[in-house]
Amino acid sequence: MRYAMAVDTKKCVGCSDCVVACQTENNVPIGYCRDWVVEVMDGTYPILEMEIRSERCNHCGNAPCVRCCPTGASHFTDGGIVLVKPSKCIGCGACIASCPYDARYPHPDGYVDKCTFCLHRIRNGLKPACAAVCPTKCIYFGDLDDPNSEVSVVLKKRKSKTLIPEAGTVPQLYFLI
**Interface contacts to other proteins, rule CB under 8 A:** 14, 16, 19, 32-33, 35-44, 52, 55, 64, 67-73, 86-94, 96-100, 102, 105-106, 109-112, 163-164, 166-168
* Beta carbon of residue 109, minimum distance to other proteins (angstroms, whole number): 8
Which C-beta is closer to other proteins: that of 10 or that of 146?
10
Which C-beta is closer to other proteins: that of 71 or that of 126?
71
Which C-beta is closer to other proteins: that of 13 or that of 126?
13
* Beta carbon of residue 88, minimum distance to other proteins (angstroms, whole number): 5
Which C-beta is closer to other proteins: that of 42 or that of 135?
42
SS3 of the chain? CCEEEEEECCCCCCCCHHHHHHHHHCCCCCCCCCEEEEEEEEEECCEEEEEEEEEECCCCCCCHHHHHCCCCCEEEEHHHEEEECCCCCCCCCHHHHHCCCCCCEECCCCCEECCCCCHHHHCCCCCCHHHHHCCCCCEEEEECCCCCCHHHHHHHHCCEECCCHHHCCCCCEEEEC
